[in-house]
Structure 1
Amino acid sequence: MSEPAREGVPDRAPKAAETATSLAEDAELKMRSARITSTFENATLLIQYDYVENIGDGRGLTVGRAGFTSGTGDLLLFVRRYTELRPDNALASFLPALEAVNGTGSEEGLGGFAEAWHRESRRAEQRGLQDRLVDELYFEPAMKYSREAGLRTPLGQAIMWDTMIQHGAGGEHGTKALVAETRASVPDAAGDEGAWLRAFLDVRLRHLVRAYEGTPTEAEGASQSRVDALRSLVAAGKWSLQEPLAWEVYGEEFRLGG
């Protein structure tokens, strides 16, 4: 990488100036965080509203800017909300199939869904709904978990938001369980946010390995790479998401600023 994980600002506790704002208060920092997650979800810094793929993680189709999936219910929720907003949309006819495959990795009945998603994602109201649902399902709960854990930096909050997007909130591998497990050994991030985040990312990776047992090995390797990328930002002390930001994921280098 052009900026090795242990170079630059040393791994240390954040200073007061690095905890003076939050992602909820700063739209630019929130977008930086979203673009980091976009490299994990879609291998690009550009927010991918039109993305559709089965990535082999046992969750069926993964779509949109934050990876709504046919197997976990958030894609079904999106299409229901979008159909209320625009009843004549090209996705509405897939509602019965999405209901049938919810909770599974099946794509039965979803032939043609990708084309319909691509077409609808050109509409401003569809992209706007993606933004609103990402906030509702992932960003706002992530900020709540961050407050409860004592995370005060934009980087800590970004890591929590990324965790919510990949893990969701509930279940044995959900963000709530990961936070509780981390706090059992490191109760509060306020004393040393770096130590808490390192412990949290260790817990997250252990759960990902267990969650992806029986799925293609690429899913496990991708999870290792994603967690390592976040660890590199902690190690570089990028607490306020200050540019330049550089990280590597899936063998590709990304940079913001500089």
Structure 2
Amino acid sequence: MKLTAGQRLICDRVINVFETGTVGGKYGAISIFKDGPGDIRQITYGRSQTTEYGNLKRLVEMYVAADGSLAAEFSPYLPKIGTVALVDDERFKSLLRKAGNEDPVMRQTQDRFFDEIYFQPAQKWADANGFTLPLSMLVIYDSFIHSGRIRKELRDRFPEATPAAGGREKVWIEQYVNIRDEWLQTHRNPEVRPSAYRTRDFQREVRRGNWKLDQIPFMANGTPVNDDGAAPPATLVAAVAPAPIAALPSRTDMLRQLAGSVGAIAPVERLIAYRDKYRPTSNPRYWAVVNFDLHSAKPRLFLFDCVGGTVSKHLCAHGRGSEGPEDDGYAEVFSNADGSNCTSLGIYHCDLTYVGAHGKSLYLDGLEATNTNARRRHIVMHGADYVSPSVIAQTGRIGRSLGCPAIEMGDVAKVIPALMGGSLLIHWKS
């Protein structure tokens, strides 16, 4: 498979964002997850995150062989990596951080390592199986980074053959991504489930038909990825410097101030806690809360602009199935079940838009156990004629949806473009 310099750059940068939250990659990044052998805790490290019981030893060996500035201090650890647990060895972790953050040799070594150990094997597998499209390469590369391979148990769960075996490349990729998304979302290890953001992004790009990776920016977990500067891959030149990260406290503090002004402190703290745990480098301008404690005749969708320092209030419908026994305009019943016509509580990822029966609409991905079926139920944000002051004047309330957070038609142009591409939204009930 031949990729242009720009396509290869997109592949590397998307993986960097998936693994460390930045386009350039955080070479000194360390995370601890319970995803080692037998679900034990292990170190994951580097620009695209290799694991303690996977290939971390090989990376450190390459760094020592390249005579990095900390080579002598790493050498005693070589026999231990992958054999003796180092997850709580603070000196070892400190060496990893220091090498990644300060030593250009480690950065250059990581660029070569991720190319040789992950990208080239992924490309070899893609070539052997007849794949030719850049988006296919990115999907396959991500599987090698995240799972070490294209897992046979996933391949066996869908019917399409690989192109080399007479199958259709686009159909195979779409079926594989869908099965992998289902596998991640229902993984036996709860710590793995949040990583389904990557397959949701791939599902979106398949729907967009972005097979050549030329529709940019590519939104990777809410971060825009471009091919600007489309130089050869970092393995062939100097290491790519990490992209600067906007200071989180300023926007987070502004979000808290805005939340306090509309009595939405509790749901906003939930959003911030989720961001800090699962998307620590995400720093969106816009956030949103729908407070279902409020009557439907009241503006209860709060859109927070953490750059402009403003909050706007909007009418928002709940599902028909969410009315309580009084049928009085309050949402009382919530469900994640298909066919319930209920609103689902919880945190949502705001994805891309499409034009459907209700005009411009926003895909929503449920991120918690209470709303995992959002895509399956076609829960989206859209405009609706039954959400308007005139309806309130006639009935004392707005109309109800089939579970979607429907808003005024006149608010679509403001709310949906603000949230699309990675903002977090919460449906809240105290």
Aligned to 2:234: none
CA distance in 2, matches of 1:41, 1:137: 16
Higher relative contact order (CA 8 A, sep 6+): 1
- Could you list the per-position Cα deviations for residues 151-186 of structure 1 after superposition, in whole angstroms to 9, with x for gaps in the alignment? 2111111111111011113xxxxx25267536x711
TM-score with structure 1 setting the length: 0.74
Number of aligned residue pairs: 219
Contact residue 27 and residue 47 of structure 2 kept, 8 A: yes
Matched, 1:98 2:72: no
1:200 maps to a residue whose letter is Y
C-alpha distance 246-78 of structure 1, shift in aligned 2 (>3 A): closer
C-alpha distance 155-108 of structure 1, shift in aligned 2 (>3 A): closer
* 1:141-160 paired onto structure 2 within 5 Å: 141-160=121-140
2:61 maps to a residue whose letter is R
C-alpha distance 68-108 of structure 1, shift in aligned 2 (>3 A): closer
- Give 3-state SS (helix, strand or coil) of 2:81's partner: helix
Aligned to 1:246: 218
Q: Mark the runs of 5 or more structure 2 residues left unpaired by the alignment.
A: 229-430
- Could you list the per-position Cα deviations for residues 128-172 of structure 1 after superposition, in whole angstroms to 9, with x for gaps in the alignment? 221222122111111122123322111111111111011113xxx
Identity, % of aligned positions: 22
- Give 3-state SS (helix, strand or coil) of 2:224's partner: strand
More strand by share: 2
CA distance in 2, matches of 1:137, 1:257: 23
1:67 maps to a residue whose letter is Q
- Could you list the per-position Cα deviations for residues 18-67 of structure 1 after superposition, in whole angstroms to 9, with x for gaps in the alignment? xxx723xx232111111111111011212221211114434611101121
CA distance in 1, matches of 2:215, 2:181: 26
CA distance in 2, matches of 1:136, 1:181: 28
Contact residue 233 and residue 247 of structure 1 kept, 8 A: no
1:68 maps to a residue whose letter is T
C-alpha distance 32-255 of structure 1, shift in aligned 2 (>3 A): closer
* 1:178-197 paired onto structure 2 within 5 Å: 180-181=155-156, 185-189=159-163, 192-197=168-173
Q: Mark the runs of 5 or more structure 1 residues left unpaired by the alignment.
A: 1-20, 170-174
Contact residue 51 and residue 118 of structure 1 kept, 8 A: yes
- Could you list the per-position Cα deviations for residues 166-223 of structure 1 after superposition, in whole angstroms to 9, with x for gaps in the alignment? 1113xxxxx25267536x711134753221111111332354457x52x3x342122x
Matched, 1:78 2:59: yes
Deviates more, 1:86-95 or 1:47-56: 86-95
- Could you list the per-position Cα deviations for residues 59-98 of structure 1 after superposition, in whole angstroms to 9, with x for gaps in the alignment? 61110112111022x0011112222232752332332431
CA distance in 1, matches of 2:6, 2:27: 19
Contact residue 178 and residue 204 of structure 1 kept, 8 A: no
Contact residue 94 and residue 109 of structure 1 kept, 8 A: no
- Give 3-state SS (helix, strand or coil) of 2:83's partner: helix
Per-residue deviation, 1:123: 2.2
2:14 to 36, 41, 45: 36
More helix by share: 1
Tell me which structure has the larger Cα radius of gyration: 2
2:194 maps to a residue whose letter is G
Contact residue 60 and residue 70 of structure 1 kept, 8 A: yes
Aligned to 2:47: 65
Aligned to 2:29: 51
Aligned to 2:91: 112
CA distance in 2, matches of 1:202, 1:244: 22
Aligned to 1:7: none
CA distance in 2, matches of 1:138, 1:108: 23
C-alpha distance 255-85 of structure 1, shift in aligned 2 (>3 A): closer
Matched, 1:225 2:197: yes
1:147 maps to a residue whose letter is D
CA distance in 2, matches of 1:132, 1:248: 23
- Give 3-state SS (helix, strand or coil) of 1:145's partner: helix
1:181 maps to a residue whose letter is D
RMSD: 2.7
